[in-house]
Structure 1
Amino acid sequence: MSKKRLLVPEARHALEEFKLEIANEFGVNDPRHLASKHTGLIVRDLVEMGEKQLINKK
């Protein structure tokens, strides 16, 4: 299975918009140039956001 394959293909545009937003927060003009440290921080933030959403649903 390809690592770049989305489970919901229709979400690709939203994902690209989110990447641009995060890149801007880190002061990076092109999200393809994010260093691995930055991507690790992004993943951590995404997990935190997901946890908060799950908690708020209860």
Structure 2
Amino acid sequence: MSRKKLVVPEARQAFEKYKMEIAKEFGVDDPRALASRHTGYIVRDLVKMGEEQMINKDS
């Protein structure tokens, strides 16, 4: 994974925490072991979270 400079540096730490939560949910000890099949779930979850934030922001 490339380590590009983030616009929001705190995002890296938040994303690592999120990956740990997802790994735990799937019963995987090491988040680096998440397979591509998990990636779809992660993307859908992140999109859902973003949509909810946008909805709540407009309310």
How many pairs align? 57
Task: Output the CA distance in 2 between the equivalents of 1:21 and 1:50.
Answer: 17
Give the equivalent residue in structure 1 for 2:37: 37
Moved over 2 A (4+): 6-11
Alignment RMSD (CA, Å): 1.7
- Deviation digits for residues 4-57 of structure 1 (CA, Å, limit 9, x no counterpart): 423323322222111101111111111111111101110111001100110111
- In structure 1, the partner of 2:10 is 10
TM-score by length of 1: 0.79
Q: Give 5+ residue unaligned stretches, structure 1.
A: none
Aligned identity (percent) is 67
**Which letter does structure 1 place at the counterpart of 2:44?**
R
Under a length normalisation based on structure 2, what TM-score does the superposition of the two structures give? 0.78
3-state SS in 1 of match to 2:16: helix
Q: Structure 2: state its 5+ residue gaps.
A: none
